[in-house]
Amino acid sequence: MKIVVLDFETADTGADSACALGVVQIENGQICEEKAYLIRPPRRIFHFTHIHGLTWQHVCDAPTFKELLPTITGHFTGADFIAAHNAAFDRKVLLTCMGKAGHTPPSLGTLCTVQLARQAWGIYPTTLPAVCSHFNIALQHHDALSDARACARIITKAIKEDFPIERAKLNPPSYRVQMAAR
């Protein structure tokens, strides 16, 4: 089984404003690849610098999401699921950015480690820092790669404990992805 764990940081309130992406791949229950990307969002406005520390100056020379697509889509090849903590947010950013770039998003199931932490271990609250603290997982919160890596470690722990991770699968999104012309 291959799971692609994602964490996006966004510049503003728009789901198309990805400015950083952490990707960690899990294959057969083991973390096998980690990548971090800076992304130039479509607007120079940064409302969330106080959260993730990124500014326009950090990403102004980075590729756009559309320019990163050939690299990013390679991560999804052969994947069974995408996963994230509070996965509905990251899924929406992924689908919106792919749609705006004129690319059909992958039709993969989505696992949520918030749901996984609640179902497998009864952890509350289920913020990423709280779950990481519970398991003594290192975390530099709101660093995209650190968040994705921590989420991957939560998933691998559940796999090692033979928890049926499919129970943490989200329903399909209730919104339609708007596709841009290619």
Rg (CA), the chain: 16
| Residue 110 contacts residue 169 (beta carbons within 8 Å) | yes
User: Looking at the DSSP assignment, which residues form a beta bridge with residue 112?
Assistant: 84
Hey, what are 55's tokens?
A: 């500014």
At 7-64, the pLDDT tens digits run 999 999 999 999 999 999 999 999 999 999 999 999 999 999 999 999 999 999 999 9
Q: Could you tell me whether strands 81-84 and 109-112 are parallel, antiparallel, or unpaired per DSSP bridges?
A: parallel
Could you tell me if residue 136 is left (phi over 0), alpha (psi between -120 and 50 degrees) or otherwise beta? left
What residues does each domain of the chain span? 2-168
Provide the CATH number for the domain formed by 2-168 in this structure: 3.30.420.10
The pLDDT of residue 93 is 97
At 56-108, the pLDDT tens digits run 999 999 999 999 999 999 999 999 999 999 999 999 999 999 999 998 888 89
Distance CA 107, CA 105 (A): 6
At 127-174, the pLDDT tens digits run 999 999 999 999 999 999 999 999 999 999 999 999 999 999 999 888
pLDDT (average), residues 110-132: 97
Contacts of 174 (CB under 8 A, 6+ apart): none
Q: Dihedral, CA atoms, 4, 7, 12, 16, nearest 10 degrees?
A: 0
What are the Cα distances from residue 34, in Å, to 37, 41, 125, 145? Answer: 10, 22, 27, 8
- Find tokens 């610098």 and name the residue: 49
